[in-house]
Structure 1
Amino acid sequence: MPSSTSSSDPGSAPKGIVEREGALPAGLRLTASDRPGQAQPVPTRDVPAQPWGRIALGVLAALVVGGIALEVNARERIGLHAGDLDNSEISWSNEKIRAAGAPVAIVGDSRILFDTDLDRFEALTGVRPIQLAIHGTSALTLLEDMADDKDFNGLLIVGLADTMFFQPFDGYGGYVKKWHEFRAPYRVVSNEIDHMLQRHLAFLDSNYRLSVLAHRLDDDFRPGVEGPKDDIWKLQEVGEHRATYLWDRVEYDPAWRARTRWAWKGFKDPFPYTPDLIAKGHARAKAAVDKIRTRGGDVIFVRPPSAPELRVNEEAQVPKAKGWDVILRNTESAGIHIDDLPGAKDLPLPEFSHLGRKCATVFTDIYVRKLTELTPRLQLRADAPPPLTKDYCVPTT
């Protein structure tokens, strides 16, 4: 029976309406009443003719211009550089895998991370160490992780900041205890794509994502709660295989340098370093070193520099005689302390805790030469470059 609102008889259809969908005059909509027997289909409308090619070119041009503007802003105004790679848990896990069977690996906090020039290390010894140090992390946590790695039997260089080594928590690098969770294929592929783009584009720096910048617009949270001002903002640049350096803006921008110094809060930790806490740290360190040596590896400790403004508080909480000296004695390990390196003691630390990039090369040159005297696992190459001095990184007046 014909519908009361429309008819299957072409002769009864409204003028200009035909039965076959898609054959409507341009711009005329076909509704449900024109299609009897169908369960309320979505009305359709013809797509009007448009200059789609020119529209696509316009969108592409806008994207290119916008991308160029972002890149120019990132490089010229912010001081970012292409090739600065995000240092994620996945990046660390990549190096963890490479550490299996490696002759030398480095663990510790951000000081040994920032202050070791992997290129200089390799130029001096012919060996490129695996960089496993993590900022804001106890070197003890990473030492224990390597002790549990049955595939590592090389030389482990443990860089430490006295207070951070004995702190009662892991720090940012607590993820090392579950690093296999970051090996999902989609995570690894995503990380590789991210790095591929960052090798060419500076504005992709994760420290300058919109969500991060929006968070920093808040002056502070409620009193007594740490907010954006207490965060450590961009501080580092990361190259291939986690080769890490202090961001050069920290050196040349007084305002950025000042806020970074303020964020350290003088290394005045809010919890007490009791004799019991320090003793537990020593026991854990000895157990870890013994594990590594049992399977043929070895451990050497390195204490990078910190400025007097921080060192005074570090020494007050964990004196060298109760921390560093006991570590070496209990573990029967060799060690290189900044106090024992006259050529590196007066290197400038822009924000009190880390060396600038060129001075990190000087420190690396000095402490690696010392390493070759302390262990037969490393030897100075016959064609090693000549020694560096402070003049390499400090302008002469």
Structure 2
Amino acid sequence: MNLKQSLICAIALCVLGTVAWELYWRSQGYYPDLDNDEALFAAQRKRADKASNSDVILIGSSRIHFDIQLDVWKKETGIKPIQLAYPGATPLPVFHDLVHKTDFSGTIVVGVTPGLFFSSTTTEKRAYRSANDKVEYFHDQTYAQQLNHILSIPLQQNLAFMSDADGIDAMKLQFLLEGIQFGNRIEGSDFPPFPNFADISLDRNLRMTEKTVTDTAFARLIKNVWSFKSTPETPPRELDKEGVMKIFVADAKAFQDRGGNLVLLRCPSTEYYRKKEENFYCRDEFWDELVKQSGAKGYHFEDYAQLKDLDCPEWSHLSGEDADFFTAEVAKIMMNDNSIPFNLKTN
């Protein structure tokens, strides 16, 4: 066989292998989806450097990421926010970065998820490290990494096997090996499977999948992760209220002193998380104190009849339909208070 034939055979085998691998993952229920990774975050963080005082930036954890839908916010206010929230992370590093590494003096809406917001102030802990790593990646990102991200987008949007399952690495070798079941394991010792239950777009708008809403067995898989070896009465492993207050309040004052507008938002939670938050993050000592010390305007879902009874299919995030409603109502409430900028003439 000559070199040309060898090349043709190699290409043919590569194409066949790729097609087979793609068809396999699609048969498992996966579909093309963007990775909610550092590069996607960095692309939006770059926008903050050029944002005007009429812009809105969203930061926080997964609740504000799921529950505020960017296009709905734009429909209500005429302004599309920059989404810099990140699942499983505290907003402290991102807020500190925006305050000290930009001259942005517009509006920052901070999603406050008690268990993450008050969790830690050191990079040794996951909630803080996760956000801090994204900030550092943005500042250290090379041109090669930026180009790699740009070139990867068409592949991510068209190939299911490129998906990172919203950061869970479900198709990577390590994850696949860890999923192999061996005998003689202690029952219940393995971390439960964590399926992807959201879709993300280039602007980092995150939306719960319809399957999570309609398939109770699927939603139970996610609940199993949230409640793994824990109950609403189990004390939080990480809690640094005083340290968090000190850091956040200092940055809040610096931001407000230069004319910035700071808004705090407490998104809904239900059942397991609602009980746990009531047990260990009582409102008057945490939320009320945070609003008071920061001098920010605060909006808690429990204070509004139309919001307080919204249900979270897996206890912590709203369905796409409810997120649309929540976003619209929150935007209206904040506009009526003159807490956020709006430009309805663009609608």
**TM-score for both structures, normalised by structure 2:** 0.84
Look up the match of 2:258: 295
What's the offset of the Cα at 1:50?
8.7
Look up the match of 2:89: 137
1:143-292 aligned within 5 A: 143-168=95-120, 169=125, 170-180=128-138, 182-207=140-165, 208-211=170-173, 212-218=175-181, 227=190, 229-230=191-192, 232-265=194-227, 266=231, 268-271=234-237, 273=239, 277-292=240-255
How far, CA to CA, are the matches of 2:185 and 2:98 in structure 1? Answer: 40
* CA deviation vs aligned residue, 1:220-277 (integer Å, no higher than 9, x gap): 99879985x256442322111211122333233333311210111256454374xxx3
From 12, 26, 31, the counterpart of 1:81: 31
What's the offset of the Cα at 1:319?
0.5
Conserved? CA contact 2:56–2:79, under 8 Å: yes
How far, CA to CA, are the matches of 1:368 and 1:313 in structure 2? Answer: 28
Conserved? CA contact 2:22–2:161, under 8 Å: yes
What's the offset of the Cα at 1:317?
0.9
1:52 aligned partner, one-letter code: Q
* CA deviation vs aligned residue, 1:186-217 (integer Å, no higher than 9, x gap): 22222222212112222321234241222222
1:373-392 aligned within 5 A: 373-375=336-338, 377-379=340-342, 381=344
- After TM superposition, the structure 1 stretch with the greater mean CA deviation from structure 2, 237-246 or 176-185, is 176-185
1:92 aligned partner, one-letter code: F
Secondary structure, aligned partner of 1:365: helix
What's the offset of the Cα at 1:179?
2.7
How far, CA to CA, are the matches of 2:338 and 2:97 in structure 1? Answer: 22
Conserved? CA contact 2:265–2:298, under 8 Å: yes
2:105 aligned partner, one-letter code: N
Cα distance, 1:179–1:49 mapped onto 2, change above 3 Å:
closer
1:370 aligned partner, one-letter code: I
How far, CA to CA, are the matches of 2:118 and 2:183 in structure 1? Answer: 30
Secondary structure, aligned partner of 1:87: coil
Secondary structure, aligned partner of 1:90: helix
What's the offset of the Cα at 1:289?
0.8
Secondary structure, aligned partner of 1:375: coil
> Which ranges of structure 2 fall in alignment gaps of 5 or more residues?
none
**Residue 332 of structure 2 corresponds to residue 353 of structure 1:** no
Note the aligned Cα RMSD (angstroms). 3.0
- After TM superposition, the structure 1 stretch with the greater mean CA deviation from structure 2, 133-142 or 67-76, is 67-76
Give aligned pairs, total: 329
Conserved? CA contact 2:91–2:131, under 8 Å: no
How far, CA to CA, are the matches of 1:218 and 1:317 in structure 2? Answer: 36
* CA deviation vs aligned residue, 1:158-207 (integer Å, no higher than 9, x gap): 00111211112415223145234651122222222221211222232123
Look up the match of 1:127: 79
> Which ranges of structure 1 fall in alignment gaps of 5 or more residues?
1-47, 385-397
Cα distance, 1:382–1:226 mapped onto 2, change above 3 Å:
farther
Conserved? CA contact 2:192–2:225, under 8 Å: yes
Bigger radius of gyration among the two: 1
Cα distance, 1:155–1:383 mapped onto 2, change above 3 Å:
closer
What's the offset of the Cα at 1:129?
0.8
Cα distance, 1:51–1:141 mapped onto 2, change above 3 Å:
closer
Look up the match of 1:30: none
1:60-71 aligned within 5 A: 63-71=14-22
- After TM superposition, the structure 1 stretch with the greater mean CA deviation from structure 2, 201-210 or 87-96, is 201-210
**TM-score for both structures, normalised by structure 1:** 0.74
Conserved? CA contact 2:213–2:319, under 8 Å: yes
From 338, 342, 360, the counterpart of 2:305: 342
**Residue 46 of structure 2 corresponds to residue 97 of structure 1:** yes
1:121 aligned partner, one-letter code: W
Cα distance, 1:77–1:106 mapped onto 2, change above 3 Å:
same
Conserved? CA contact 1:153–1:295, under 8 Å: yes
How far, CA to CA, are the matches of 1:180 and 1:383 in structure 2? Answer: 31
Between 1 and 2, higher relative CO (CA 8 Å, sep ≥ 6) is seen in: 2
Conserved? CA contact 2:58–2:110, under 8 Å: yes
Look up the match of 2:67: 115
Conserved? CA contact 2:119–2:238, under 8 Å: no
Secondary structure, aligned partner of 1:369: helix
